[in-house]
Structure 1
Amino acid sequence: MRWNLRLVAAQRGIWKASDLQRQLAEHGLVISAGKMSGLWSGQPVTVKLADLDVICVVLGCQVGDLLLPEPDTVARPTDAGQVASRAAGATPLAVVPRRRDGRSLPPA
């Protein structure tokens, strides 16, 4: 996913993070300067759904305007057999438990 807040804000005439921060506060969403900087200039690690609602109301947009999918960045299986077996509902590989101290587990 790509975060598109800055472009959506610019399309609505908001050119500064502080202007958006002020408008968000008017709608009940008080954001610290550090968090606002992350939302404005980068790819935020987390965004609460309630915060997204307020951002969308302030900007008059939909969540799909703020979050743009990038399906080309998703790793895909390289072997055609892997794709077919996953599509057919093949069982995943078994998980083998291991001890943290490096010792082996007792026989089953």
Structure 2
Amino acid sequence: MIKKMGCHWHLRQLMAAKGMFQTSDLIPPLAERGVQLSREQVFRLVTQTPQRLSVDTLAALCDILGCGVGDLLEVVVVNEEVRKIGTGPAAPSAPQVRRTTIRRPGTP
């Protein structure tokens, strides 16, 4: 059994607590800290949980919002137990063997 992990991204809530209600509000403070992101990238960063995030961007966000990494990103267990397919004693049985007849073209 393995644990399936996920995370909750709290960027939007932390921005609202600082009075930042538009995604574009992040562009100038990020640029001041050397992080150059397009409007589209910032929009995705605010509205979706990022799958990849540079440490520089994470540090800049924490500095801008006056928070720690744990305030911004909450790690959670999505599913307590996930069984790997095809392993362990509960693995599905082998498929049934069927006899096959090969016919050559022109023979009945």
TM-score, normalization by structure 1? 0.64
> Structure 1's 75 and 26: CA in aligned 2 closer, same or farther, altered over 3 A?
same
Structure 2 residue identity aligned to 1:13 = G
Structure with greater helix share of residues: 1
Structure 1 outlier segments of 4+, above 3 Å:
none
CA distance in 2, matches of 1:26, 1:45: 24
The one of 64, 69, 80 aligned to 1:58: 64
Runs (5+) with no aligned partner, structure 2: 1-6, 84-108
Q: CA RMSD in A?
A: 1.5
Relative to its length, the structure with more strand (as a share) is: 2
- Rg: which structure is higher? 2
2:100: which partner in 1? Answer: none
Displacement of 1:65: 0.8
Counterpart in the other structure of 1:42: 48
Alpha-carbon separation, structure 2, partners of 1:77 and 1:41 = 28
From 81, 86, 89, the equivalent of 1:76 is: 81
Aligned-pair identity in percent equals 32
**Which residue of 2 is the match for residue 10 of structure 1?**
16
Determine the C-alpha separation between the residues in 2 that align with 1:46 and 1:10.
23
Q: May I ask how many residue pairs the two structures share in their alignment?
A: 77
Q: Distance in 2 between matches of 1:10 and 1:39?
A: 15
Matched letter for residue 33 of structure 1: R
* 1:21 CA displacement: 1.4
Structure 1: 5+ residue stretches without partners: 79-108
Asked if 1 retains the 8 angstrom alpha-carbon contact of 2:24 and 2:43, the reply is: no
Partner AA of 1:8 in structure 2: L
Contact preservation (8 Å) 2:35, 2:56: no
